[in-house]
Amino acid sequence: MSHFIFFLEIIRPKALLYLSAVEEPIQLEPQKTPGERIMYCDLKVFSGNSNKGLAQEICRQLDIPLSKLDISRFSNDNLFVQVKENVREKDIFVIQSFSRPVSHHILELLITLDAMRSASAKRITAVVPYYSYARSDKKDAPRISIAGRLMADLLKTAGANRVLTMDLHADSVHGFFSIPVDHLTAIPIICDHFQRRFDISNTVVVATDAGGAKRAGRFAQKMNTSMAIIDKRRISDTDVVQGLVVGDVKGKDAIIFDDEISTGGTLTTSVKTLEKAGVRKIFVGATHPVLSGPAVKNLKDASIEEIVVTDTVEIPDNKKMEQLKVLSVGPLFAEAIKRIHSGESVGALFR
């Protein structure tokens, strides 16, 4: 026994010296705080082709690179998606708006989510800044699909563990998901712009119909202004008939607020209705600048001082207008991603 102890005493200093020499060279990066190590090692953000600009802004705010994703098509027009980085046991966020071409972008997202799951990602969050199928939230005609619920089911089936979105057209769509949903709003960002832009003491917020009254009411409350509602009857997707304005608007500046601008048909008729009611100046605020069909012509022809939107939908150059002001929601999405990743409250962003 004494010989064995003597042997250990001889080899222990050499063993410690050897371990020390081995540990030193394997430090491949500078020491970081625990928060920094988690942020850079466990968090990855990917993007489909719907809105690369917003994805890059989100990554700039997070101070991380946009992770690499290869999206292409085979000769038979099938989509091919390959994740170009290791995502095993990582916290993954995939950014993709349901913008034109909508079906193409949805399929891109679904295949990407499935690829992430197959690559053993620890958690996958589908970041959908604009969820267009939120407008299909009820069965208002015979033999139709409630497509908003179907899309929610498809996201889960493809591999999403949670969803991060912004200003759904109908709050009820939130309940279509059987996975956690964080529902952001651009109302504070747009309100802040108008409050810095001009004196709001003689301003009224206008809802284009009764259906949007709750949303416009939240905007008016944040702006600390009064509110009015326009009585609207929709004939078709593009034709709208409006009647009276419920509320005091005469001699005031009006801010028409809605969740999205599609063809601009509702907006143009709202502007005419407000002009007849004696409104002084008209401004528009909306989260999603879809701008489909004749939207650009409709908006250019209307007497609107400024149209304030966000970058949840990428606006091509041929749809940009002089009176159009685009605010970025990148910082808000980046902060929400940070909080989801670290387990903090997302709702606290709006208290």
Query: Is 232 known to be catalytic?
Result: yes
Bond prior to 101 in cis (omega within 30° of 0): yes
φ, ψ of residue 309 to 5 degrees: the values are -130, 180
Residue 329 is given by DSSP the state -
End-to-end CA distance of the chain: 70
Tokens of 283: 């401004």
Give the max Cα distance, the chain: 106
207 closest CA partner among 274, 252, 262: 274
Say which of 44, 90, 222, 232 is annotated catalytic: 232
Q: In Å, what is the CA distance from 210 to each residue of 101, 159, 242, 333?
A: 30, 37, 12, 29
Q: What is the H or E stretch that residue 109 is in?
A: helix 102-118
127 closest CA partner among 43, 42, 12, 239: 43
Q: In Å, what is the CA distance from 120 to each residue of 92, 113, 141, 276?
A: 11, 11, 42, 60
Burial 250-265 (b: 16+ CB within 10 A, else e): eebbbbbbbbbbbbbb
Q: Give catalytic residue positions.
A: 232
